[in-house]
Structure 1
Protein backbone atom coordinates (compact mmCIF):
# COMPACT_ATOMS: atom_id res chain seq x y z
CA UNK A 1 0.00 0.00 0.00
CA UNK A 2 1.32 3.41 -0.90
CA UNK A 3 2.38 5.86 1.79
CA UNK A 4 -0.44 8.31 1.01
CA UNK A 5 -3.11 5.65 1.59
CA UNK A 6 -2.03 4.92 5.16
CA UNK A 7 -1.21 8.51 6.01
CA UNK A 8 -4.49 9.94 4.82
CA UNK A 9 -6.49 7.12 6.40
CA UNK A 10 -5.37 8.35 9.79
CA UNK A 11 -5.55 12.08 9.11
CA UNK A 12 -9.26 12.51 8.43
CA UNK A 13 -10.48 13.51 11.91
CA UNK A 14 -9.53 17.09 12.71
CA UNK A 15 -9.73 18.56 16.19
CA UNK A 16 -7.71 19.91 19.07
CA UNK A 17 -5.26 17.75 20.98
CA UNK A 18 -6.26 16.80 24.50
CA UNK A 19 -5.27 19.26 27.19
CA UNK A 20 -2.47 18.11 29.45
CA UNK A 21 -0.63 19.43 32.44
CA UNK A 22 2.38 17.19 31.72
CA UNK A 23 5.70 18.86 30.93
CA UNK A 24 6.66 19.33 27.27
CA UNK A 25 8.22 16.42 25.41
CA UNK A 26 12.01 16.47 25.03
CA UNK A 27 13.17 18.05 21.79
CA UNK A 28 13.04 15.28 19.14
CA UNK A 29 16.73 14.95 18.22
CA UNK A 30 17.48 14.63 14.51
CA UNK A 31 13.96 15.56 13.44
CA UNK A 32 13.29 17.69 10.36
CA UNK A 33 10.44 18.50 7.99
CA UNK A 34 10.16 15.76 5.36
CA UNK A 35 7.44 16.43 2.77
CA UNK A 36 3.99 17.79 2.00
CA UNK A 37 1.04 16.19 0.19
CA UNK A 38 -0.09 18.54 -2.59
CA UNK A 39 -3.37 17.99 -4.45
CA UNK A 40 -3.78 19.42 -7.94
CA UNK A 41 -6.91 19.84 -10.05
CA UNK A 42 -5.54 16.79 -11.87
CA UNK A 43 -2.22 14.97 -11.86
CA UNK A 44 -1.21 16.35 -15.27
CA UNK A 45 -2.25 19.89 -14.30
CA UNK A 46 -0.15 19.96 -11.13
CA UNK A 47 2.76 18.27 -12.94
CA UNK A 48 2.67 20.88 -15.70
CA UNK A 49 2.67 23.78 -13.24
CA UNK A 50 5.58 22.38 -11.25
CA UNK A 51 7.66 21.41 -14.30
CA UNK A 52 6.84 23.98 -16.99
CA UNK A 53 6.03 27.11 -15.00
CA UNK A 54 8.39 26.59 -12.06
CA UNK A 55 11.22 24.38 -13.36
CA UNK A 56 11.04 21.34 -11.07
CA UNK A 57 11.78 17.80 -12.27
CA UNK A 58 8.77 15.56 -11.57
CA UNK A 59 9.26 11.81 -11.13
CA UNK A 60 6.70 9.05 -11.84
CA UNK A 61 4.54 7.49 -9.15
CA UNK A 62 1.47 5.24 -9.37
CA UNK A 63 -2.24 5.41 -10.13
CA UNK A 64 -4.25 3.52 -7.52
CA UNK A 65 -8.05 3.40 -7.71
CA UNK A 66 -8.29 6.71 -9.56
CA UNK A 67 -5.82 8.73 -7.45
CA UNK A 68 -2.35 9.19 -8.97
CA UNK A 69 0.81 10.42 -7.30
CA UNK A 70 4.15 11.81 -8.53
CA UNK A 71 7.25 13.06 -6.73
CA UNK A 72 9.63 16.00 -6.67
CA UNK A 73 12.78 14.97 -4.77
CA UNK A 74 15.55 17.22 -3.44
CA UNK A 75 19.22 16.85 -2.61
CA UNK A 76 18.51 17.15 1.12
CA UNK A 77 16.26 14.01 0.82
CA UNK A 78 13.01 15.97 1.31
CA UNK A 79 10.31 15.84 -1.36
CA UNK A 80 6.83 16.89 -2.49
CA UNK A 81 4.19 14.27 -3.21
CA UNK A 82 1.82 15.43 -5.94
CA UNK A 83 -1.71 13.98 -6.02
CA UNK A 84 -4.45 14.11 -8.60
CA UNK A 85 -7.75 12.41 -9.47
CA UNK A 86 -7.60 10.45 -12.74
CA UNK A 87 -11.17 9.21 -13.23
CA UNK A 88 -14.72 10.38 -12.45
CA UNK A 89 -15.31 7.78 -9.72
CA UNK A 90 -12.09 7.49 -7.69
CA UNK A 91 -11.96 5.32 -4.60
CA UNK A 92 -11.14 7.60 -1.65
CA UNK A 93 -10.11 6.41 1.77
CA UNK A 94 -11.57 8.58 4.60
CA UNK A 95 -8.53 10.88 4.66
CA UNK A 96 -8.63 11.55 0.94
CA UNK A 97 -12.37 12.19 1.09
CA UNK A 98 -11.97 14.65 3.96
CA UNK A 99 -9.13 16.44 2.14
CA UNK A 100 -11.17 16.77 -1.01
CA UNK A 101 -14.17 18.09 0.91
CA UNK A 102 -12.04 20.68 2.72
CA UNK A 103 -10.30 21.71 -0.51
CA UNK A 104 -13.67 21.71 -2.33
CA UNK A 105 -12.14 19.66 -5.10
CA UNK A 106 -9.53 22.34 -5.78
CA UNK A 107 -5.76 22.38 -5.42
CA UNK A 108 -3.95 22.74 -2.13
CA UNK A 109 -2.23 21.02 0.78
CA UNK A 110 -3.40 20.19 4.29
CA UNK A 111 -0.90 17.50 5.39
CA UNK A 112 2.85 17.37 6.03
CA UNK A 113 5.34 15.06 7.69
CA UNK A 114 8.16 15.26 10.22
CA UNK A 115 11.03 12.81 9.63
CA UNK A 116 12.97 11.27 12.52
CA UNK A 117 15.04 8.18 13.25
CA UNK A 118 13.66 8.22 16.82
CA UNK A 119 10.04 7.34 16.11
CA UNK A 120 9.64 5.00 19.07
CA UNK A 121 10.88 7.57 21.59
CA UNK A 122 8.72 10.33 20.06
CA UNK A 123 5.68 8.05 19.99
CA UNK A 124 6.14 7.19 23.67
CA UNK A 125 6.65 10.81 24.73
CA UNK A 126 3.52 11.95 22.86
CA UNK A 127 1.50 9.13 24.42
CA UNK A 128 2.73 10.27 27.86
CA UNK A 129 1.41 13.74 27.02
CA UNK A 130 -2.00 12.20 26.20
CA UNK A 131 -1.86 12.87 22.47
CA UNK A 132 -4.13 10.56 20.48
CA UNK A 133 -1.39 8.96 18.41
CA UNK A 134 -2.07 6.01 16.11
CA UNK A 135 -0.22 2.70 16.09
CA UNK A 136 2.77 2.34 13.75
CA UNK A 137 2.28 1.53 10.09
CA UNK A 138 4.87 0.46 7.57
CA UNK A 139 5.30 -0.15 3.86
CA UNK A 140 5.65 -1.10 1.13
CA UNK A 141 3.67 -4.32 1.39
CA UNK A 142 6.56 -6.74 1.08
CA UNK A 143 9.10 -8.59 3.17
CA UNK A 144 11.53 -5.77 2.52
CA UNK A 145 11.46 -3.02 5.17
CA UNK A 146 10.51 0.45 3.98
CA UNK A 147 8.97 3.41 5.78
CA UNK A 148 7.42 3.49 9.24
CA UNK A 149 5.02 6.18 10.42
CA UNK A 150 2.47 7.16 13.00
CA UNK A 151 -0.10 9.96 12.89
CA UNK A 152 -2.82 11.40 15.14
CA UNK A 153 -6.46 10.46 15.60
CA UNK A 154 -7.07 14.10 16.58
CA UNK A 155 -4.85 16.61 14.83
CA UNK A 156 -2.84 18.71 17.31
CA UNK A 157 -2.05 21.44 14.77
CA UNK A 158 -4.18 23.48 12.38
CA UNK A 159 -2.97 21.29 9.49
CA UNK A 160 -2.60 17.52 9.64
CA UNK A 161 0.78 16.01 10.43
CA UNK A 162 2.54 12.68 10.94
CA UNK A 163 6.00 11.36 11.88
CA UNK A 164 7.88 9.07 9.48
CA UNK A 165 11.21 7.28 9.07
CA UNK A 166 12.71 5.33 6.19
CA UNK A 167 14.64 2.07 6.25
CA UNK A 168 17.93 1.99 4.34
CA UNK A 169 16.57 -0.65 1.97
CA UNK A 170 13.57 1.45 0.93
CA UNK A 171 13.52 3.24 -2.44
CA UNK A 172 16.45 1.57 -4.26
CA UNK A 173 16.95 4.62 -6.46
CA UNK A 174 17.97 6.45 -3.28
CA UNK A 175 20.17 3.89 -1.54
CA UNK A 176 21.44 1.26 -4.00
CA UNK A 177 25.11 2.10 -4.85
CA UNK A 178 24.57 0.91 -8.42
CA UNK A 179 21.91 3.59 -8.85
CA UNK A 180 23.85 6.54 -7.45
CA UNK A 181 23.89 8.33 -10.81
CA UNK A 182 20.12 7.89 -11.14
CA UNK A 183 19.63 9.20 -7.62
CA UNK A 184 21.75 12.28 -8.35
CA UNK A 185 20.00 13.06 -11.64
CA UNK A 186 16.50 12.78 -10.16
CA UNK A 187 17.40 15.53 -7.68
CA UNK A 188 18.76 18.02 -10.20
CA UNK A 189 16.15 20.65 -11.08
CA UNK A 190 16.28 23.18 -13.92
CA UNK A 191 15.39 25.93 -11.43
CA UNK A 192 18.39 24.86 -9.24
CA UNK A 193 16.24 23.98 -6.17
CA UNK A 194 18.20 21.90 -3.66
CA UNK A 195 16.34 21.86 -0.35
CA UNK A 196 12.98 22.27 1.37
CA UNK A 197 13.60 24.86 4.08
CA UNK A 198 10.21 25.77 5.56
CA UNK A 199 6.50 24.97 5.57
CA UNK A 200 4.05 27.79 6.36
CA UNK A 201 0.84 26.96 8.20
CA UNK A 202 -2.00 29.48 8.32
CA UNK A 203 -4.88 29.45 10.81
CA UNK A 204 -6.92 31.88 12.87
CA UNK A 205 -4.72 31.27 15.94
CA UNK A 206 -0.95 31.02 15.44
CA UNK A 207 -0.39 31.00 19.19
CA UNK A 208 -2.37 27.76 19.53
CA UNK A 209 -0.08 26.07 16.99
CA UNK A 210 2.98 27.46 18.76
CA UNK A 211 1.82 26.07 22.12
CA UNK A 212 1.18 22.63 20.66
CA UNK A 213 4.55 22.57 18.91
CA UNK A 214 6.31 23.52 22.14
CA UNK A 215 4.46 20.78 24.02
CA UNK A 216 5.48 18.29 21.34
CA UNK A 217 9.14 19.25 21.87
CA UNK A 218 9.60 21.95 19.22
CA UNK A 219 10.38 25.06 21.25
CA UNK A 220 12.52 28.17 20.68
CA UNK A 221 9.82 29.89 18.59
CA UNK A 222 10.66 33.34 17.24
CA UNK A 223 7.97 35.98 16.68
CA UNK A 224 7.80 37.09 13.05
CA UNK A 225 5.76 39.29 10.71
CA UNK A 226 5.54 38.76 6.96
CA UNK A 227 4.25 42.01 5.39
CA UNK A 228 4.52 40.54 1.88
CA UNK A 229 1.54 38.24 2.62
CA UNK A 230 -0.13 40.11 5.50
CA UNK A 231 0.71 37.58 8.21
CA UNK A 232 2.24 37.34 11.65
CA UNK A 233 3.08 34.49 13.98
CA UNK A 234 6.05 32.33 14.82
CA UNK A 235 9.04 30.64 13.23
CA UNK A 236 9.69 27.30 14.95
CA UNK A 237 13.00 25.52 14.19
CA UNK A 238 12.73 21.83 13.32
CA UNK A 239 16.31 20.67 12.87
CA UNK A 240 17.70 22.41 9.77
CA UNK A 241 14.17 23.37 8.66
CA UNK A 242 11.50 25.75 9.98
CA UNK A 243 7.75 25.47 10.54
CA UNK A 244 5.96 28.81 10.36
CA UNK A 245 2.75 29.11 12.40
CA UNK A 246 0.94 32.13 10.94
CA UNK A 247 -2.35 34.01 11.10
CA UNK A 248 -3.68 36.96 9.06
CA UNK A 249 -2.37 40.41 9.98
CA UNK A 250 -4.43 42.82 7.92
CA UNK A 251 -5.22 42.52 4.23
CA UNK A 252 -3.16 40.13 2.15
CA UNK A 253 -2.68 36.58 0.96
CA UNK A 254 -3.06 35.05 4.44
CA UNK A 255 -6.45 36.72 4.96
CA UNK A 256 -7.62 35.73 1.47
CA UNK A 257 -6.58 32.11 2.03
CA UNK A 258 -8.39 31.86 5.35
CA UNK A 259 -11.51 33.49 3.92
CA UNK A 260 -11.73 31.14 0.94
CA UNK A 261 -10.14 27.93 2.18
CA UNK A 262 -9.63 27.89 5.93
CA UNK A 263 -6.57 26.50 7.75
CA UNK A 264 -4.05 24.84 5.47
CA UNK A 265 -0.47 24.97 4.25
CA UNK A 266 -0.10 28.50 2.94
CA UNK A 267 3.35 28.21 1.36
CA UNK A 268 6.53 26.17 1.07
CA UNK A 269 10.07 27.60 0.81
CA UNK A 270 12.94 26.15 -1.20
CA UNK A 271 16.62 26.99 -1.18
CA UNK A 272 18.16 27.31 -4.65
CA UNK A 273 21.77 27.48 -5.79
CA UNK A 274 20.99 30.10 -8.47
CA UNK A 275 18.25 32.50 -7.38
CA UNK A 276 18.26 34.52 -10.59
CA UNK A 277 17.81 31.36 -12.67
CA UNK A 278 14.83 30.30 -10.53
CA UNK A 279 13.38 33.79 -10.89
CA UNK A 280 13.84 33.85 -14.68
CA UNK A 281 12.16 30.45 -14.97
CA UNK A 282 9.13 31.53 -12.92
CA UNK A 283 8.89 34.87 -14.74
CA UNK A 284 8.82 33.08 -18.10
CA UNK A 285 6.28 30.58 -16.78
CA UNK A 286 3.94 33.27 -15.45
CA UNK A 287 4.81 35.98 -18.00
CA UNK A 288 5.30 38.69 -15.39
CA UNK A 289 8.06 40.37 -13.43
CA UNK A 290 8.49 39.02 -9.90
CA UNK A 291 9.76 41.33 -7.17
CA UNK A 292 12.57 40.36 -4.84
CA UNK A 293 12.31 40.96 -1.08
CA UNK A 294 14.27 40.27 2.08
CA UNK A 295 12.60 37.23 3.64
CA UNK A 296 13.32 35.09 6.67
CA UNK A 297 15.95 33.23 4.64
CA UNK A 298 17.47 36.29 2.97
CA UNK A 299 16.91 37.42 -0.60
CA UNK A 300 13.73 35.76 -1.88
CA UNK A 301 10.83 35.93 -4.30
CA UNK A 302 7.33 34.49 -4.21
CA UNK A 303 6.04 32.70 -7.30
CA UNK A 304 2.35 33.53 -8.03
CA UNK A 305 1.16 29.93 -7.72
CA UNK A 306 -1.88 30.38 -5.45
CA UNK A 307 -4.48 29.97 -8.20
CA UNK A 308 -2.66 27.01 -9.77
CA UNK A 309 -1.59 25.12 -6.65
CA UNK A 310 -3.68 26.45 -3.78
CA UNK A 311 -0.48 27.50 -2.03
CA UNK A 312 2.51 29.76 -2.72
CA UNK A 313 6.08 28.76 -3.55
CA UNK A 314 8.94 30.86 -2.15
CA UNK A 315 12.45 30.60 -3.56
CA UNK A 316 15.49 31.96 -1.74
CA UNK A 317 19.24 31.79 -2.03
CA UNK A 318 20.77 28.89 -0.09
CA UNK A 319 22.48 29.78 3.15
CA UNK A 320 25.33 27.91 4.81
CA UNK A 321 24.73 26.95 8.44
CA UNK A 322 22.97 29.09 11.01
CA UNK A 323 19.52 28.81 12.50
CA UNK A 324 16.51 28.25 10.19
CA UNK A 325 14.72 31.00 12.13
CA UNK A 326 15.84 34.63 12.52
CA UNK A 327 17.24 35.77 15.84
CA UNK A 328 14.84 38.73 15.86
CA UNK A 329 11.38 39.30 14.43
CA UNK A 330 11.11 40.53 10.83
Structure 2
Protein backbone atom coordinates (compact mmCIF):
# COMPACT_ATOMS: atom_id res chain seq x y z
CA UNK A 1 0.00 0.00 0.00
CA UNK A 2 2.81 2.43 0.83
CA UNK A 3 5.76 1.52 -1.37
CA UNK A 4 4.04 0.21 -4.49
CA UNK A 5 0.85 2.28 -4.43
CA UNK A 6 1.87 5.51 -2.69
CA UNK A 7 -0.59 5.61 0.20
CA UNK A 8 0.28 6.90 3.66
CA UNK A 9 -0.41 4.03 6.08
CA UNK A 10 -1.06 5.02 9.68
CA UNK A 11 -0.41 2.98 12.85
CA UNK A 12 -3.04 0.85 14.55
CA UNK A 13 -2.84 -1.96 17.09
CA UNK A 14 -2.02 -5.67 17.34
CA UNK A 15 -3.94 -7.02 20.35
CA UNK A 16 -4.37 -10.72 19.48
CA UNK A 17 -2.30 -11.56 16.43
CA UNK A 18 -4.33 -9.53 13.91
CA UNK A 19 -2.80 -6.09 13.42
CA UNK A 20 -4.72 -3.19 11.92
CA UNK A 21 -3.47 -0.15 10.01
CA UNK A 22 -5.31 2.77 8.40
CA UNK A 23 -5.35 4.65 5.12
CA UNK A 24 -7.43 7.77 5.77
CA UNK A 25 -8.78 10.15 3.13
CA UNK A 26 -9.64 13.83 3.13
CA UNK A 27 -13.34 13.00 2.63
CA UNK A 28 -13.30 11.16 6.04
CA UNK A 29 -13.53 7.68 4.46
CA UNK A 30 -10.82 5.12 5.17
CA UNK A 31 -9.41 1.66 4.51
CA UNK A 32 -8.73 -0.50 7.53
CA UNK A 33 -5.96 -3.00 6.73
CA UNK A 34 -5.80 -6.24 8.70
CA UNK A 35 -2.79 -8.54 8.76
CA UNK A 36 -2.05 -11.77 10.62
CA UNK A 37 1.10 -11.46 12.72
CA UNK A 38 1.43 -14.86 14.42
CA UNK A 39 0.57 -18.52 13.72
CA UNK A 40 -2.28 -18.70 16.28
CA UNK A 41 -4.21 -15.40 16.03
CA UNK A 42 -7.43 -14.82 17.95
CA UNK A 43 -9.98 -14.29 15.17
CA UNK A 44 -13.43 -12.89 15.83
CA UNK A 45 -16.18 -14.93 14.08
CA UNK A 46 -16.25 -12.62 11.06
CA UNK A 47 -12.49 -12.81 10.54
CA UNK A 48 -12.52 -16.60 10.78
CA UNK A 49 -15.35 -16.83 8.24
CA UNK A 50 -13.47 -14.50 5.87
CA UNK A 51 -10.26 -16.50 6.13
CA UNK A 52 -12.11 -19.70 5.26
CA UNK A 53 -13.93 -18.09 2.32
CA UNK A 54 -10.73 -16.51 1.02
CA UNK A 55 -8.86 -19.82 1.52
CA UNK A 56 -6.23 -18.09 3.61
CA UNK A 57 -5.37 -15.62 0.86
CA UNK A 58 -5.66 -11.84 0.68
CA UNK A 59 -8.93 -10.07 0.03
CA UNK A 60 -11.90 -8.31 1.58
CA UNK A 61 -15.48 -9.35 2.26
CA UNK A 62 -16.66 -6.47 4.48
CA UNK A 63 -17.41 -2.77 4.14
CA UNK A 64 -19.24 -0.18 6.21
CA UNK A 65 -21.67 2.71 5.88
CA UNK A 66 -20.93 5.76 8.03
CA UNK A 67 -23.93 7.66 9.44
CA UNK A 68 -24.70 9.93 12.38
CA UNK A 69 -28.24 8.48 12.55
CA UNK A 70 -27.36 4.98 13.75
CA UNK A 71 -30.26 4.64 16.18
CA UNK A 72 -32.86 5.56 13.56
CA UNK A 73 -31.27 3.25 10.97
CA UNK A 74 -31.09 0.41 13.50
CA UNK A 75 -34.80 0.79 14.33
CA UNK A 76 -35.75 1.04 10.66
CA UNK A 77 -33.82 -2.07 9.61
CA UNK A 78 -35.12 -4.04 12.57
CA UNK A 79 -38.67 -2.99 11.62
CA UNK A 80 -38.05 -4.25 8.09
CA UNK A 81 -37.19 -7.68 9.45
CA UNK A 82 -33.38 -7.55 9.23
CA UNK A 83 -31.44 -9.47 11.87
CA UNK A 84 -29.36 -6.58 13.22
CA UNK A 85 -26.89 -7.00 16.07
CA UNK A 86 -26.75 -4.91 19.24
CA UNK A 87 -24.42 -1.88 19.19
CA UNK A 88 -20.69 -2.30 19.71
CA UNK A 89 -18.51 0.56 20.94
CA UNK A 90 -14.80 1.31 21.27
CA UNK A 91 -12.09 2.00 22.16
CA UNK A 92 -12.04 1.25 25.87
CA UNK A 93 -11.46 4.85 26.81
CA UNK A 94 -13.22 7.91 28.17
CA UNK A 95 -12.38 9.75 24.97
CA UNK A 96 -14.95 9.79 22.11
CA UNK A 97 -14.65 6.75 19.87
CA UNK A 98 -16.78 4.67 17.52
CA UNK A 99 -20.14 2.94 17.62
CA UNK A 100 -21.46 0.34 15.16
CA UNK A 101 -23.91 -2.45 14.47
CA UNK A 102 -23.87 -5.23 11.90
CA UNK A 103 -26.13 -8.10 10.77
CA UNK A 104 -26.49 -11.64 12.09
CA UNK A 105 -27.35 -12.65 8.52
CA UNK A 106 -25.74 -10.57 5.79
CA UNK A 107 -28.41 -9.04 3.51
CA UNK A 108 -25.90 -8.28 0.75
CA UNK A 109 -23.36 -10.43 -1.06
CA UNK A 110 -20.59 -8.95 1.11
CA UNK A 111 -20.74 -8.39 4.85
CA UNK A 112 -21.62 -4.87 5.91
CA UNK A 113 -22.06 -2.74 9.01
CA UNK A 114 -23.15 0.76 9.98
CA UNK A 115 -20.72 2.91 11.96
CA UNK A 116 -20.40 6.38 13.43
CA UNK A 117 -17.49 7.91 15.25
CA UNK A 118 -16.74 11.20 16.94
CA UNK A 119 -15.50 13.92 14.60
CA UNK A 120 -12.16 14.02 16.38
CA UNK A 121 -11.73 10.25 16.63
CA UNK A 122 -8.76 8.63 14.92
CA UNK A 123 -6.34 6.10 16.39
CA UNK A 124 -3.42 8.11 15.00
CA UNK A 125 -4.72 11.56 15.96
CA UNK A 126 -7.21 12.01 18.76
CA UNK A 127 -6.45 15.56 19.94
CA UNK A 128 -8.76 18.02 18.12
CA UNK A 129 -6.33 20.86 18.90
CA UNK A 130 -3.78 19.42 16.46
CA UNK A 131 -5.62 20.30 13.25
CA UNK A 132 -2.44 20.32 11.15
CA UNK A 133 -1.55 16.80 12.29
CA UNK A 134 -5.06 15.64 11.43
CA UNK A 135 -4.79 17.15 7.94
CA UNK A 136 -1.33 15.74 7.21
CA UNK A 137 -2.40 12.16 8.08
CA UNK A 138 -4.85 12.37 5.17
CA UNK A 139 -2.33 13.46 2.54
CA UNK A 140 -0.87 10.77 0.29
CA UNK A 141 2.16 10.79 -2.03
CA UNK A 142 -0.01 9.43 -4.85
CA UNK A 143 -2.46 12.34 -4.47
CA UNK A 144 -5.41 10.22 -3.24
CA UNK A 145 -8.25 12.33 -1.83
CA UNK A 146 -11.38 10.19 -1.71
CA UNK A 147 -12.84 6.70 -1.72
CA UNK A 148 -15.32 7.13 -4.57
CA UNK A 149 -16.68 3.59 -5.09
CA UNK A 150 -16.82 0.09 -3.61
CA UNK A 151 -17.39 -2.83 -5.98
CA UNK A 152 -19.23 -5.94 -4.77
CA UNK A 153 -19.39 -9.10 -6.86
CA UNK A 154 -21.83 -11.99 -6.65
CA UNK A 155 -23.75 -14.28 -8.95
CA UNK A 156 -26.88 -12.10 -8.71
CA UNK A 157 -26.49 -8.32 -8.88
CA UNK A 158 -30.26 -7.85 -9.04
CA UNK A 159 -30.67 -9.43 -5.59
CA UNK A 160 -28.20 -6.95 -4.08
CA UNK A 161 -29.97 -4.08 -5.85
CA UNK A 162 -33.33 -5.13 -4.36
CA UNK A 163 -31.87 -5.45 -0.87
CA UNK A 164 -30.25 -2.00 -1.08
CA UNK A 165 -33.51 -0.47 -2.24
CA UNK A 166 -35.35 -2.11 0.67
CA UNK A 167 -32.72 -0.72 3.06
CA UNK A 168 -33.33 2.79 1.71
CA UNK A 169 -30.63 3.07 -0.95
CA UNK A 170 -32.49 3.47 -4.24
CA UNK A 171 -31.61 5.21 -7.48
CA UNK A 172 -29.72 2.27 -8.98
CA UNK A 173 -28.38 2.81 -12.50
CA UNK A 174 -27.52 -0.17 -14.77
CA UNK A 175 -23.83 -0.24 -15.60
CA UNK A 176 -20.99 -2.28 -17.09
CA UNK A 177 -17.30 -2.45 -16.15
CA UNK A 178 -15.53 -3.95 -19.19
CA UNK A 179 -12.14 -3.55 -17.47
CA UNK A 180 -13.04 -6.38 -15.06
CA UNK A 181 -15.70 -8.19 -17.09
CA UNK A 182 -18.67 -7.23 -14.92
CA UNK A 183 -22.15 -5.76 -15.19
CA UNK A 184 -24.79 -4.77 -12.67
CA UNK A 185 -25.88 -1.57 -10.97
CA UNK A 186 -24.38 1.61 -9.58
CA UNK A 187 -26.17 2.70 -6.39
CA UNK A 188 -25.46 6.20 -4.99
CA UNK A 189 -24.82 6.18 -1.23
CA UNK A 190 -24.15 9.76 -0.19
CA UNK A 191 -21.05 10.90 -2.11
CA UNK A 192 -19.95 7.32 -2.80
CA UNK A 193 -20.97 4.81 -5.48
CA UNK A 194 -21.74 1.26 -4.41
CA UNK A 195 -21.39 -1.06 -7.40
CA UNK A 196 -23.27 -4.37 -7.19
CA UNK A 197 -21.91 -6.54 -9.96
CA UNK A 198 -21.85 -10.01 -11.45
CA UNK A 199 -19.55 -11.58 -14.05
CA UNK A 200 -20.13 -10.56 -17.64
CA UNK A 201 -17.96 -12.97 -19.61
CA UNK A 202 -14.27 -13.56 -18.93
CA UNK A 203 -12.33 -11.26 -16.62
CA UNK A 204 -11.52 -10.44 -13.01
CA UNK A 205 -15.14 -10.75 -11.84
CA UNK A 206 -15.48 -14.32 -13.11
CA UNK A 207 -12.05 -15.23 -11.75
CA UNK A 208 -12.93 -13.84 -8.31
CA UNK A 209 -16.15 -15.85 -8.18
CA UNK A 210 -14.33 -19.00 -9.23
CA UNK A 211 -11.59 -18.47 -6.65
CA UNK A 212 -13.77 -17.94 -3.60
CA UNK A 213 -17.11 -16.40 -4.43
CA UNK A 214 -18.73 -13.34 -2.88
CA UNK A 215 -16.32 -10.57 -1.99
CA UNK A 216 -15.22 -6.97 -2.53
CA UNK A 217 -14.09 -7.05 -6.15
CA UNK A 218 -12.47 -3.61 -6.08
CA UNK A 219 -12.50 -0.01 -4.95
CA UNK A 220 -12.17 3.30 -6.78
CA UNK A 221 -9.97 6.10 -5.45
CA UNK A 222 -10.13 9.71 -6.64
CA UNK A 223 -6.74 11.43 -6.99
CA UNK A 224 -5.69 15.04 -7.47
CA UNK A 225 -3.53 14.21 -10.52
CA UNK A 226 -3.99 10.95 -12.40
CA UNK A 227 -0.56 11.11 -14.05
CA UNK A 228 1.24 11.27 -10.71
CA UNK A 229 -0.68 8.26 -9.35
CA UNK A 230 -0.03 6.32 -12.55
CA UNK A 231 3.70 7.04 -12.48
CA UNK A 232 3.91 5.96 -8.82
CA UNK A 233 2.10 2.66 -9.42
CA UNK A 234 4.07 1.93 -12.61
CA UNK A 235 7.32 2.36 -10.68
CA UNK A 236 6.01 0.24 -7.81
CA UNK A 237 4.96 -2.66 -10.02
CA UNK A 238 7.63 -2.14 -12.71
CA UNK A 239 5.21 -2.25 -15.64
CA UNK A 240 3.34 0.11 -17.93
CA UNK A 241 -0.36 0.58 -17.25
CA UNK A 242 -3.01 1.62 -19.76
CA UNK A 243 -5.81 4.04 -18.97
CA UNK A 244 -9.45 3.58 -19.95
CA UNK A 245 -12.72 5.46 -19.71
CA UNK A 246 -14.35 4.36 -16.45
CA UNK A 247 -17.43 5.45 -14.51
CA UNK A 248 -15.50 8.42 -13.13
CA UNK A 249 -13.72 9.39 -16.35
CA UNK A 250 -10.12 8.59 -17.26
CA UNK A 251 -8.91 5.77 -15.00
CA UNK A 252 -6.39 2.97 -14.62
CA UNK A 253 -6.31 -0.28 -12.67
CA UNK A 254 -3.39 -1.02 -10.36
CA UNK A 255 -2.26 -4.68 -10.63
CA UNK A 256 -3.13 -5.46 -7.02
CA UNK A 257 -5.21 -8.63 -7.29
CA UNK A 258 -2.36 -11.03 -6.46
CA UNK A 259 -1.04 -9.17 -3.41
CA UNK A 260 -4.23 -7.52 -2.06
CA UNK A 261 -6.92 -9.81 -3.41
CA UNK A 262 -8.90 -7.00 -5.03
CA UNK A 263 -8.54 -4.34 -7.72
CA UNK A 264 -7.79 -0.68 -7.00
CA UNK A 265 -8.92 1.78 -9.65
CA UNK A 266 -7.45 5.28 -9.69
CA UNK A 267 -9.24 8.15 -11.44
CA UNK A 268 -8.95 11.91 -11.59
CA UNK A 269 -11.43 13.73 -9.34
CA UNK A 270 -14.23 15.35 -11.32
CA UNK A 271 -15.35 18.58 -9.57
CA UNK A 272 -19.06 18.39 -8.82
CA UNK A 273 -19.32 14.87 -10.22
CA UNK A 274 -22.23 12.96 -8.68
CA UNK A 275 -21.82 9.26 -7.85
CA UNK A 276 -23.09 7.06 -10.70
CA UNK A 277 -23.21 10.04 -13.10
CA UNK A 278 -20.96 8.15 -15.52
CA UNK A 279 -22.77 4.82 -15.20
CA UNK A 280 -24.29 3.43 -18.37
CA UNK A 281 -24.91 0.18 -20.27
TM-score (norm 1): 0.83
On the 8 A contact 1:222/1:327 being kept in 2, the answer is: no
The 1:224–1:101 alpha-carbon spacing in structure 2 relative to 1, beyond 3 Å, is: same
Q: Output aligned runs, 1:72-87, within 5 Å.
A: 72-87=23-38
Residue number among 221, 229, 240 corresponding to 2:172 in the alignment: 221
Distance in 1 between the 2:255 and 2:122 partners?
33
Aligned to 2:117: 166
Aligned to 2:251: 300
Distance in 2 between the 1:170 and 1:286 partners?
34
Aligned to 1:94: 45
- Give the gaps of 5 or more residues in structure 1: 1-49
Instruction: Give secondary structure in 2 for the equivalent of 1:69.
Output: strand
Distance in 2 between the 1:101 and 1:206 partners?
23
Of 177-186 and 157-166, more deviation after overlay is shown by 177-186
1:262 aligns with 2:213: yes
Distance in 2 between the 1:168 and 1:307 partners?
35
Residue number among 222, 226, 230 corresponding to 1:279 in the alignment: 230
The runs of at least 4 consecutive aligned structure 1 residues that moved more than 6 Å come to: none
CA positional deviation for 1:171: 2.8
1:210 aligns with 2:161: yes
CA positional deviation for 1:320: 1.4
CA positional deviation for 1:328: 5.3
On the 8 A contact 2:98/2:116 being kept in 1, the answer is: yes
On the 8 A contact 1:174/1:180 being kept in 2, the answer is: no
The 1:90–1:191 alpha-carbon spacing in structure 2 relative to 1, beyond 3 Å, is: same
Aligned to 2:183: 232
1:136 aligns with 2:102: no
Aligned to 1:185: 136
Aligned to 2:266: 315
The 1:129–1:66 alpha-carbon spacing in structure 2 relative to 1, beyond 3 Å, is: same
The 1:184–1:327 alpha-carbon spacing in structure 2 relative to 1, beyond 3 Å, is: closer
Calculate the aligned-residue CA RMSD, in Å. Answer: 1.3
Aligned to 2:145: 194
Distance in 2 between the 1:68 and 1:232 partners?
35
On the 8 A contact 1:157/1:209 being kept in 2, the answer is: yes
CA positional deviation for 1:175: 6.1
1:126 aligns with 2:77: yes
TM-score (norm 2): 0.97
The 1:64–1:174 alpha-carbon spacing in structure 2 relative to 1, beyond 3 Å, is: closer
CA positional deviation for 1:90: 1.0
CA positional deviation for 1:327: 6.0
Distance in 2 between the 1:329 and 1:266 partners?
19
Deviations 1:235-275 (A, max 9, x none): 00000101000000001110011011211000010000010
On the 8 A contact 2:12/2:123 being kept in 1, the answer is: no
On the 8 A contact 1:230/1:254 being kept in 2, the answer is: yes
Deviations 1:89-136 (A, max 9, x none): 111121111111111111000000000011111111101100000111
Distance in 2 between the 1:130 and 1:277 partners?
47
Instruction: Give secondary structure in 2 for the equivalent of 1:54.
Output: coil
Instruction: Give secondary structure in 2 for the equivalent of 1:278.
Output: helix
1:107 aligns with 2:107: no
Alignment length (residue pairs): 281
